[in-house]
């Protein structure tokens, strides 16, 4: 079994959390494995991988969702993609959807290696909604998926979400090319701000209380930055094109007040398996950590997943 578990922590509601390490293409990834109350390693449990927004780490929304899914009886894994947080990988803060799919695939392999796991599901918030879609279209070991306030559009939708006009896009292309040239010449991947309400050059420039509020996502472990060379693979990523290849059960949570609602509706319409659309009224960032909303999402996701566990 190619993993290591250390430092078990007992949490409220009798949930336990263990730091675990597993490999993805020779790179050591670090995650937190949450186990339900009264866990018994001689029994069988459904499991779930939870992941969050671009540039995020396991202590943010993915950890919150993992903890709630453990309360609902799942063995839940929130982990740092390679180049982020406590996981290995270079260059740091490198956002590459193809690599993230491979990391998710390694997480599936890890979970099914555990003797007490009988099914693997996945839940992706924001950008990881697209990453989970990519995984579901290519890995038939998954049982079912949930996409929460997902960024599931293609390149044109991503440009729309960032509010970029043609002039800005041309400048961005030059920016990317210069960053690639610098990286090739020096081996150093320059970084830029990820989310900001004040820095107009940030990847996402808007109201971003979640990322700037120390009581929410602005935690000490989080580096609010990304490697600029990430922009090339990011702008080529097309989760929408994966939808028609998803044949497993899928539940989609979104609202008109989230990023690109029409893209989520279009994505949902293309899904081929059993599916459910839960349309709400909350804003994008509320889906990350608003307690009542996260509880509602995980409760509905649990009900949905349990229909397909046998």
Predicted confidence at residue 1, as pLDDT, reads 43
Predicted confidence at residue 172, as pLDDT, reads 75
Predicted confidence at residue 93, as pLDDT, reads 97
CB of 47 within 8 A of CB of 35?
Answer: no
Asked whether the predicted pLDDT for residue 279 surpasses 90, the reply is yes
Predicted confidence at residue 33, as pLDDT, reads 98
pTM: 0.93
In 225-271, which residue ranges form alpha helices assigned H by DSSP?
231-236, 261-270
Residue from 68, 104, 57 nearest 218 by CA: 57
In a domain, 171, yes or no: no
- 166-170, 186-190, 282-286: least confidently modelled range: 166-170
Tens digit of pLDDT for each residue in 126-146?
A: 999 999 999 999 999 999 999
The count of domains in the chain is 1
In a domain, 292, yes or no: yes
Residue from 34, 111, 116, 19 nearest 67 by CA: 34
Residue from 158, 168, 224 nearest 194 by CA: 224
Going by DSSP bridges, is the β-strand pair 250-255/275-280 parallel, antiparallel, or unpaired? parallel
In a domain, 121, yes or no: yes
Under 8 Å CB-to-CB from 246, ≥6 apart: which residues?
133, 136, 137, 145, 271, 272, 273
Tens digit of pLDDT for each residue in 218-262?
A: 999 999 999 999 999 998 899 999 999 999 999 999 999 999 999
In a domain, 276, yes or no: yes
Tens digit of pLDDT for each residue in 37-90?
A: 999 999 999 999 999 999 999 999 999 999 999 999 999 999 999 999 999 999
In a domain, 15, yes or no: yes
CB of 272 within 8 A of CB of 244?
Answer: yes
Domain of residue 247, CATH code: 3.40.50.1820
Predicted confidence at residue 160, as pLDDT, reads 66
Predicted confidence at residue 96, as pLDDT, reads 97
In a domain, 224, yes or no: no
Mean pLDDT, residues 165-175: 73
For the chain, the C-alpha Rg in angstroms (whole number) is 18
Asked whether the predicted pLDDT for residue 166 surpasses 60, the reply is yes
Q: How far apart are CA 235 and CA 49, in angstroms?
A: 25
Q: Would you give the DSSP letter of residue 41?
A: T
In a domain, 110, yes or no: yes
Structural domain range at position 47 = 3-160+238-306
In a domain, 134, yes or no: yes
């Amino acid at each position: 079994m190619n993993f290591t578990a250390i430092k078990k922590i007992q949490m409220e509601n009798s949930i336990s959390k263990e730091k675990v390490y597993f490999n993805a293409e020779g790179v050591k990834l670090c995650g937190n494995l949450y186990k339900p109350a009264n866990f018994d390693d001689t029994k069988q449990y459904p499991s779930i991988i939870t992941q969050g927004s671009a540039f995020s780490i396991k202590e943010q929304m993915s950890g919150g969702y993992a903890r709630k899914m453990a309360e609902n009886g799942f063995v839940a894994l929130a982990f740092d993609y390679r180049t982020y947080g406590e996981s290995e990988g270079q260059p740091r803060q490198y956002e590459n959807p193809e690599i993230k799919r491979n990391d998710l695939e390694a997480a599936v392999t890890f979970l099914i290696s555990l003797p007490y796991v009988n099914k693997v599901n996945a839940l992706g918030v924001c950008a990881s909604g697209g990453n989970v879609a990519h995984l579901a279209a290519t890995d038939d070991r998954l049982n079912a998926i949930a996409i929460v306030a997902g960024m599931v559009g293609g390149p044109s939708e991503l440009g729309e979400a960032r509010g970029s006009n043609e002039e800005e896009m041309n400048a961005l292309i030059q920016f990317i090319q210069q960053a690639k040239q610098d990286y090739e010449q020096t081996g150093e991947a320059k970084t830029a701000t990820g989310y900001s309400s004040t820095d107009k050059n940030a990847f996402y420039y808007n109201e971003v209380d979640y990322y700037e509020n120390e009581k929410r996502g602005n935690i000490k472990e989080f580096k609010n930055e990304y490697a600029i060379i990430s922009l090339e693979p990011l702008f080529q990523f097309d989760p929408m094109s994966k939808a028609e290849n998803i044949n497993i059960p899928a539940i989609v949570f979104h609202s008109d007040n989230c990023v690109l609602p029409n893209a989520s509706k279009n994505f949902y319409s293309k899904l081929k398996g059993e599916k459910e659309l839960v349309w709400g009224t909350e804003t994008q960032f509320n889906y990350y950590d608003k307690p009542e909303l996260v509880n509602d999402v995980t409760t509905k996701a649990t009900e949905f997943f349990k229909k397909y566990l046998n």
